[in-house]
């Protein structure tokens, strides 16, 4: 592969060239996840709903959490806000969980020089995106039927979600490449995901971060997922717009991480066969 890994089109070309292969591996990952279970694909819906019920009870009823200061905000409104946050968090969490083993679990394919290994981490992202799409649809239906409804601001999701996908792609390529040489990454990823859920404002409003020490504020606010979660709630629940600076930051972060992750994967790839 002679093209520069930092070429903005470099990550896109193998995905388009081998789109059928990408679709095949993504479908296989989705099927394997539910193989042998009685409910099968229904768990894609039931799992986030069960998580939503638990988090809503703990943070909504026990700790009486709210996203706004409005006295009209109900437990249902809070639950829908959590659900929207979980859509993005679960997507990235699944990518982080699956990616470190994407290459090491396919040793036979690594030995094949002509096989496009970039497809394997990308399939993990596509699989997670499939699940996220279903749960996002449920969340939007919930807001439309049980909440205050949807308006034109919801179309801004088309500008909020793609950079999150780019971030997922960059993380997938980076972790898949590094996971070949550092097997401890897979073992440590559940701890990273646990930290991420509390740093992404899934259960609390962004304004509460102002009460944290300055250094901790900077660390938390550097998390792009936090801004994506907050922006999603703004456009869907509160029918507000998103600042151009926030969208610009999300897209810049997504593009840089995607290109950087691909560059690392491209740099490490020649040594995969010697290690796996």
Across all residues in the chain, what is the average pLDDT?
Answer: 89
Distance separating alpha carbons of residues 131 and 155, to the nearest angstrom: 20
pLDDT band per the 50, 70, 90 thresholds, residue 146: confident
> Can you give the pLDDT at residue 25?
93
3-state secondary structure 227-248: HHHHHHHHHHCCCCCCCHHHHH
Distance separating alpha carbons of residues 109 and 147, to the nearest angstrom: 48
> Can you give the pLDDT at residue 31?
82
* Span 39-73, pLDDT tens digits: 666 777 787 778 778 877 877 777 777 888 888 78
- The predicted model scores a pTM of 0.91
CB contact burial 86-96 (16+ within 10 A = b; e otherwise):
bbbbbbbbbbb
> Can you give the pLDDT at residue 62?
79
Domain ranges within the chain, ordered by starting residue: 12-271
Distance separating alpha carbons of residues 230 and 254, to the nearest angstrom: 17
């Amino acid at each position: 592969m002679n093209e520069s890994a930092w070429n903005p089109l470099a990550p896109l070309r193998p995905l388009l060239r081998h789109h059928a292969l990408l679709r095949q591996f993504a479908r296989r990952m989705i099927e394997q996840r539910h193989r042998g279970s009685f409910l099968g694909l229904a768990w894609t819906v039931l799992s986030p709903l069960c998580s939503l019920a638990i988090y809503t009870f703990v943070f909504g009823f026990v700790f009486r959490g709210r996203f706004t200061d409005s006295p009209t905000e109900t437990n249902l409104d809070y639950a829908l806000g959590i659900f929207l946050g979980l859509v993005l968090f679960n997507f990235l969490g699944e990518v982080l969980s699956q990616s470190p083993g994407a290459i090491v679990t396919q040793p036979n394919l690594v030995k094949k020089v002509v096989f496009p290994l970039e497809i394997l981490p990308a399939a993990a992202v596509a699989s997670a995106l499939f699940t996220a799409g279903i749960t996002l649809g449920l969340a939007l239906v919930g807001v439309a039927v049980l909440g205050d409804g949807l308006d034109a601001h919801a179309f801004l999701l088309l500008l909020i979600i793609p950079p999150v996908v780019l971030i997922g792609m960059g993380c997938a390529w980076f972790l898949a490449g590094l996971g070949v040489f550092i097997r401890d990454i897979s073992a440590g990823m559940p701890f990273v995901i646990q930290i991420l859920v509390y740093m992404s404002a899934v259960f609390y409003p962004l304004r509460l971060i102002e009460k944290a020490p300055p250094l901790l504020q900077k660390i938390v606010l550097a998390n792009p997922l936090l801004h994506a979660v907050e922006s999603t709630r703004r456009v869907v629940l509160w029918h507000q717009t998103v600042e151009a600076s926030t969208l610009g930051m999300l897209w810049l972060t997504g593009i840089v991480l995607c290109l950087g992750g691909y560059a690392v994967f491209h740099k490490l790839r020649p040594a995969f066969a010697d290690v796996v």
